[in-house]
């Protein structure tokens, strides 16, 4: 038992092994990573086909045992994948609570639930949980750039879609009430209460038209015709909102700076890159990951200990309201022991694009959202020892749409300052964060009207 505990302890603290598995599962730049991604897509698609086949009675009767064996294999594969992702992730808790982490867990649960409860008379109820396996299809968004673009566009448009939904809700309640007033007094009518009338309004406005409830009076039919035409008029509104956001995001992505010749793989400066001979993680915590590399320089010199700090991608936002005021936050920074003004800033969550992260951070820390966004500049805090980049965005015309949504570890206040006041603060060194001062100085170097 002691040997088993020692082996388990060594396995859980084997940083080199974790790094290798991480490169295969979370990255796709290596041959092994690409092979894993292709295999994962194939297993996802096959598992969905098995779910579909099981729902067809004729197929299930003939190939039922084979489908069950296939489900066992898929469940084992997805369980192993989920456990490996937890094992090698720098932040296991962050991955487990992320959207795709929850989807990965749901993809493995139904079969185990069936095993636990067994073939009891409640099995028919438990079997409904097996339909959760269909959630595996959402994992395909990991591999489709268009899928990520759609998710980010939906997130960016959520406020507008929410307002549209509220408008439609008010509209169907009003129309349903009007129809009750018109048809409610007719004998044997289905419009005998307002909820039934609201149901009819929803069905008619969305152009579904089941025909289970139909008006009989001329005024009721006239209102039905108006609602049908109104449905065709407004049904395209949410589609237009999301489409406009997708086009906007695609344009921004095209405008982002592309790698130059000096940084491309075909660059003649490729020979200046250092060769990593060995790499070892010294610490892997959610907010601090440090590794020690043994590197070889182009001139043949070997550096046995070169230390690199790994961080997620950072973002910050220069946010301006319609009246030209800057949205700043003021908070305490423990490392310096100071309370200072700052731009809204944060980190990208796993699988999150910088633009979506910047918009989310601004909304959560300040309650401001909307406006026009553009990538302002991209910075490195320390290119020699830190592997991440900071994406700085300029957001103009933002509006206060909510209160703050702060995490328990956050304690900050929101302040609106004029251009003149902010420029004076910069000159007086009231900012400490260099990654925020750089985009602000660039802004004032290009904007003269203050």
Residue 245 placed within a domain:
no
The pTM of this model reads 0.44
Both 37 and 136 in a single domain?
yes
Please count the structural domains in the chain. 4
Residue 260 placed within a domain:
no
| Residue 283: closest CA among 309, 260, 316 | 309
Both 292 and 323 in a single domain?
no
Both 125 and 176 in a single domain?
no
Residue 424 placed within a domain:
yes
Query: H or E element: which one contains 441?
Result: helix 434-446
Both 203 and 173 in a single domain?
yes
Domain boundary among 218, 237, 256: 237
Q: Beta strand pairing status for 288-296 and 275-285?
A: antiparallel
Distance CA 370, CA 385 (A): 36
Domain boundary among 212, 237, 262: 237
The confidence score (pLDDT) of residue 123 equals 43
Both 57 and 173 in a single domain?
no
Both 279 and 319 in a single domain?
no
Both 60 and 130 in a single domain?
yes
Both 178 and 125 in a single domain?
no
Query: H or E element: which one contains 5?
Result: helix 2-12
Query: H or E element: which one contains 70?
Result: helix 57-88
Cα dihedral 99, 380, 439, 427 in deg (nearest 10): 130
Residue 91 placed within a domain:
yes
Q: Where are the alpha helices (DSSP H) in 352-415?
A: 354-366
The confidence score (pLDDT) of residue 250 equals 59
Query: In terms of residue numbers, what domain contains 276?
Result: 272-310
Query: H or E element: which one contains 24?
Result: helix 15-25
Side-chain-side CA neighbours of residue 124 (13 Å) = 1
Query: H or E element: which one contains 284?
Result: strand 275-285
CATH number, position 412 = 3.90.79.10
The confidence score (pLDDT) of residue 122 equals 42
The confidence score (pLDDT) of residue 390 equals 95
Report whether 412 contacts 330 (CB < 8 A): yes
Helix, strand, coil distribution of the chain in percent, nearest 5: 55, 20, 25
Residue 46 placed within a domain:
yes
The confidence score (pLDDT) of residue 377 equals 93
Distance CA 320, CA 76 (A): 51
Report whether 350 contacts 94 (CB < 8 A): yes
Both 349 and 438 in a single domain?
yes
Residue 176 placed within a domain:
yes
Three-state SS at 367: coil
Burial of 200 (0-12, 13-18, 19+ CB in 10 A): buried
Distance CA 131, CA 54 (A): 10
Please list the pLDDT of the chain residue by residue as tens digits (450 residues).
777 777 777 878 787 888 788 878 876 556 777 788 778 878 877 887 887 787 777 887 888 888 888 888 888 888 898 899 888 887 788 878 877 778 778 777 777 777 776 554 444 444 455 455 455 555 555 555 566 666 666 777 777 778 778 888 888 899 989 999 999 888 888 898 898 899 999 988 887 878 888 898 999 899 989 988 888 777 766 666 666 666 666 555 555 555 444 444 444 445 578 888 888 888 888 778 899 999 988 888 889 899 999 999 999 999 999 998 999 999 999 888 899 999 999 999 888 899 999 999 999 999 999 999 999 999 999 999 999 999 999 999 999 988 888 888 888 999 999 999 999 999 888 888 999 999 999 999 887 555
Domain boundary among 237, 259, 291: 237
Both 186 and 98 in a single domain?
no
End-to-end CA separation in angstroms for the chain: 73
Report whether 308 contacts 291 (CB < 8 A): yes
Both 298 and 319 in a single domain?
no
């Amino acid at each position: 038992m002691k040997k088993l505990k020692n082996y388990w302890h060594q396995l859980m603290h084997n940083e080199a092994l974790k790094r290798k598995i991480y490169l295969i599962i979370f990255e796709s730049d290596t041959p092994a990573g690409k092979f894993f991604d292709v295999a994962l897509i194939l297993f996802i698609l096959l598992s969905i086909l098995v779910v579909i086949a099981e729902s067809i009675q004729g197929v299930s009767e003939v190939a039922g045992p084979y489908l069950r064996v296939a489900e066992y294999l898929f469940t084992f594969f997805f369980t192993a994948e989920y456990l490996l992702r937890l094992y090698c992730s720098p932040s296991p808790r962050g991955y487990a609570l992320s959207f795709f982490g929850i989807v990965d867990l749901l993809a493995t649960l139904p079969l185990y639930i069936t095993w636990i409860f067994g073939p009891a008379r409640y099995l028919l109820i438990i079997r409904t949980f097996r339909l959760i396996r269909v959630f595996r299809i959402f994992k395909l968004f990991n591999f489709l750039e268009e899928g990520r673009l759609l998710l980010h566009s939906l997130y960016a448009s959520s406020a507008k879609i929410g307002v549209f939904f509220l408008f439609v809700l008010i509209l169907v309640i009003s129309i349903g009430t009007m129809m009750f007033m018109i048809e409610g007094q007719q004998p044997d009518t289905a419009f005998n209460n307002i909820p039934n009338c609201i149901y009819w309004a929803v069905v008619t406005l969305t152009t579904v038209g089941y025909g289970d409830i139909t008006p009989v009076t001329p005024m009721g039919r006239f209102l039905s015709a108006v609602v049908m035409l109104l449905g065709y008029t407004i049904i395209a509104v949410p589609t237009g909102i999301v489409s406009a956001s997708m086009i906007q995001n695609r344009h921004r992505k095209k405008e982002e700076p592309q790698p130059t010749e000096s940084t491309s793989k075909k660059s003649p400066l490729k020979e200046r890159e250092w060769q990593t001979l060995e790499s070892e993680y010294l610490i892997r915590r959610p907010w601090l990951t440090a590794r020690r590399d043994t590197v070889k320089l182009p001139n043949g010199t070997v550096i046995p200990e070169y230390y690199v700090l790994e961080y997620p991608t950072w973002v910050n936002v220069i946010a301006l309201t319609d009246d030209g005021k800057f949205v700043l936050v003021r908070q305490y920074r423990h490392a310096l022991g100071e309370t200072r003004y700052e731009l809204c800033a944060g980190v990208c969550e796993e699988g999150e694009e910088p633009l979506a992260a910047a918009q989310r951070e601004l909304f959560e820390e300040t309650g401001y959202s909307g406006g026009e966004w553009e990538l302002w500049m991209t910075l490195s805090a320390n290119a020699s020892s830190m592997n991440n980049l900071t994406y700085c965005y300029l957001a103009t015309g933002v509006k206060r749409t909510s209160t703050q949504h702060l995490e328990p570890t956050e304690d900050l206040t929101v302040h609106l300052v004029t251009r003149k006041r902010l420029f004076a603060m910069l000159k007086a060194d009231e900012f400490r964060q260099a990654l925020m001062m750089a985009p602000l100085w660039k802004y004032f170097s290009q904007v003269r009207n203050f």
